[in-house]
Structure 1
Amino acid sequence: MATLAGSHALPTLQATSSGPMVTWEDTGPSGIVIQAHMLGADGTPTGQPIQLGTSDASEARPATAPMSGGLAVAWMETPGARLGLVSGAGMSSTTALPGARFPALASHGGELAVVWSTGSDLSIARTTGMPGGQVAGTVVRTGAGEARVPSVAIDASGASLVAWEDTREGEERIYLARVSASGAKQDEVRVEDAEGSANWPAVAVMGERAAIAYYQFQGGPPSIFLAVFGPGLARNGATLRVSGKNARYPAVTFTGSELGVAWAEKDAGIRMRRVACD
């Protein structure tokens, strides 16, 4: 187990061509600092932390995705977000995303998907490698309410699977859309099939299927739920409750044969469950 000294929040961990890299945000007297640290094969930190940038927002929420040249990193600032590439040598030049909130990243091969919200609009951009200038996004959701906290993955066909919190009905719901590599939205579906505020979607690709983990209040403290959708975003089986009460902030990954779902549970730390896939 790796232990990094100091006060840290919102870590992400990715496997890069140089080895595992963890990123996080620190809060200091002058604002938020975004940092990264390389890890050895046994999880031991190697070298010194790399300062990626700073943020004057109340929270930066760094998002990451592995790239051939290192690690793509995006975070929130005021009044937008910033995207850049970090390698063992440090942070390369960065690109501003004006007005963007809650940036999310995914990569597949040399392709990078960047998703962000701007009030009622949810936008996506696809690039080959890191963009050299301004990022032009395609709006895939607009209308009543707001889009928040998106999550994105790229499937084997090159399409993006985007999930987000949506307030079009007043209370938070989770929606999932399939977007072609060119930015055309092909399908959209509401994820949860029960009433109650639903939050914090996390999406993973399983071949032609997408798994969405989220937490929902169903008449009491929140629990973690998992839903699977097949081609055309048709629901694949029943929604699975994977946690007890007072559980939030899920993460999900697919190993090739099963799903791993992790979450934070009040007074119980971080918990994880393995879910077999048919």
Structure 2
Amino acid sequence: MVSEKPQQSVAPNPAEPLLTVRGLQKRFGSHEVIKNIDLEVSPGSVTFLIGPSGGGKSTVLRCMNFLETPSAGEITFAGERLCHTEKGRLHRASDAVLRRARAQMPMVFQHFNLFAHRTALENVIEGPILVLGRPREQAVADGRELLRRVGLLERADAYPAQLSGGQKQRVAIARAVAMEPRLILFDEPTSALDPELVAGVLDTIRSLADENRTMVVVSHEMAFARRLADRVHFVADGVIAESGSPDEIFDAPKNERLKQFIRSILH
């Protein structure tokens, strides 16, 4: 499992949010998926987005690093404004700024998104070589070390089709960490896994938290959210209906929709 903290390229300023989202909206045609989202992510924190399916959690995540272009709102990451709305029109940052933000804010997807024709090691080293400009020899050494830390060094030469779902997801996590990110986004990283494979992936994510990695996690693993989160946002119907610490959200919810959601999970 990942346990040793590598050198990060840029030290975040703990006095300022690493990511700020204000007035985020997202429409697909006439369908308004995200109505109005405000949130901040502090350096070194673990933020969970929970809520019912279809409430907009994954869309919020994809707007953060512009896998989806917001319809309105303002997003600031690592001191750079990625977009803002002025006179009813969304203004995006330059392509160079957005590419830099994506490189520092990789996403671990529900369905892994590994390159099927490349080995586990090749999947991990591609970003450092092509995006960060690492020499191949260094990228390979670093990639093998990351695979060792997620318990998959012996599978370095295996192709995704030869890996279990849990192994694929741990390769995807190693690939994200290889980019020396400021923030890692997780989009329901265990929902596509068989139950017996979930624990290994959760252990890997937990070890990242132990390294003070900054993470935003969309998940239906409520017990895991309660143990790991610094801040929990309950997203329903395109808005954050309630925010708080894990104890506040799970033990003393105020919003009636959140109360119903927790009751449904308990039963």
Give the TM-score normalised by the residue count of structure 1.
Answer: 0.31
The answer to which structure has the higher strand fraction is 1
| Structure with higher RCO (Cα < 8 A, 6+ apart) | 2
Give the TM-score normalised by the residue count of structure 2.
Answer: 0.31
The answer to which structure has the higher helix fraction is 2
